[in-house]
Chain A
Amino acid sequence: MSLTEERTAVAPKRTAARRAVGVVLPLLLLGVWQLLAGSGIYSPAQLPPPGEVASAFGELAGRGELWHHIAISTQRVLIGFALGAVLGLALGGLVGLSRTANAALSPTVQAIRAVPSLAWVPLLLLWLGVGETPKIVLVAIGAFFPVYATVSAALTHVDSHLTEVGRAYGRSGLRLVATVLFPAATPAILSGLRLGLAQGWLFLVAAELIASSMGLGFLLIDSQNTGRTDVMLLAIVLLAALGKLTDTLLGFAETRLLTARR
């Protein structure tokens, strides 16, 4: 008892220290960036210093358009992720629970999974037009596969000893899924959701690079066309930050869910 108390008392300090360590590398990179930009190896058009990127941020934020780009990108990711995650859970669940479904579906799904994100874009444009739908669908495709893969693998690899306990105590079918298989697979399923969200952001940029007039991907391609390297770097930094932010939020939810049952 006292041992665990001590451990919980020490833990917050330690994790705080560990988090602080994570800030060191970004600061270092920022320093290197500043040095490189000032060294004259690259022209300011190739590599503007961090300060210029910050002022680009101020400029775009001041005009209000930056928030629009951020909002529309985030919205696409969240809707697409929700769709892809639900589908991934459903199909991954089916394949993980039924050997027949596994034999029938998984080779095809594996093959479709191998299609690179950019290869989908022309097809989606052709079928779904240039509105929001193709972008959301592409994000959904991106989010689907990691969720599908982790959920199906987690469910097939549930400890057979525990499944046997469920059977021995009269659980079968959906009751076995609800009381043994699903709870046993929960940690893996949660990390699959995080992977899906991360891949959703990757696919978002693919969608926005090609056919859009808003969003961070558009900002990226537009800045290339107008020669605004500072805006380009800003878009990249924002994509990284937003991806990390949404992952952290999902990570919090994950930790809360898992500690609740520890």
Chain B
Amino acid sequence: MREPAGLEFSGVGRAFTVAGRHRQVLAGIDLTVAPGEVIALLGPSGCGKSTLLRLAAGLDSPTAGAVSVDGRPVRGIEPRCAVVFQEPRLLPWRTLFRNVAYGLPRGVTGAPARQEVEHWLSVVGLDAFAQHRPRQLSGGMAQRAALARALARRPGVLLLDEPFAALDALTRLRMQDLLAEVQREAGTTVLLVTHDADEALHLADRIVLLGPSEDPAAGSSIRLVLPVPGARPRDRGDSTLAELRASLLSELGVNIHGRIQA
């Protein structure tokens, strides 16, 4: 098994030029994630959470600063990272088995490959569906398969971009428990983008709040880093978390009495 990897953003910025206009999306991101740590990344829509995740995966490169995994700079696709996107994005022409096998690191073939795929399929509870096609699955099952595909890569860092956002509430809770369990088993470092404060409080060691600065043209940066007390897995009803939840929501601009602040 691959060791969990550390992840570091130092002075990371990303600007896009769309139709000749320069737009700073991220600026001055400094964050060090320890190996095995679970970080939840929260922030308003459009603040650049997915962009930050893509930088870590090597799907995109920063216009300022540097991203490194275990001290080595990320250049091109990072083999020690695996991504789960907001949509399952399974390859529709492949069976589930072959979709999960798609995640295997290069060079893993034959019997070890088969065992590996079977292992992760059973971890996510889909061993009975190995020969099914993606379109024969429910949304939750497909997202579980996407998680298995990422895990098959034995990543040092697991990058999750709102992986449960499209699921119904009950399935989402189940998936959160599954993720906690898998994280414990594999020990992977996790960077989880989420919109859900409860999800963040349930799963993360630290919550990182991303948001725009006073000057909106300057791009988003880290507004707040919140360590979550208590060891994982946490009780969802834990009352000590209630206060944290309230302050988190107010940081996100949500009044806990149900009104949205200006």
Contacts and interface: CB of A to CB of B under 8 A. Distances in A.
A183 B79 contact: no
A233 interface: no
Interface in A185-213: 186
B232 interface: no
A180 B83 CA distance: 17
B77 A170 contact: yes
B93 A183 contact: yes
Size range of the interface on A?
A: 10 to 19
A19 interface: no
B118 interface: no
A169 interface: yes
A132 interface: no
Given A161-B85, A262-B133, A167 B59 contact: yes
Contacts, number: 43
A262 B93 CA distance: 6
Contacts of A261: 93-94, 133
B91 interface: yes
A149 to B, nearest CB: 23
Contact of B89 (A161, A170, A179, A183): A161
B93 A168 contact: no
Interface in B50-79: 57, 59, 77, 79
Nearest to A172: B77
A162 interface: yes
A168 B83 contact: yes
Nearest to B86: A161
B87 interface: yes
B110 to A, nearest CB: 18
A81 B59 CA distance: 41
Interface of A: 161-162, 164-165, 167-170, 172, 179-180, 183-184, 186, 261-262
12 contacts: A164-B59, A165-B102, A168-B77, A168-B83, A169-B149, A169-B153, A170-B106, A183-B93, A183-B94, A184-B91, A261-B94, A262-B133
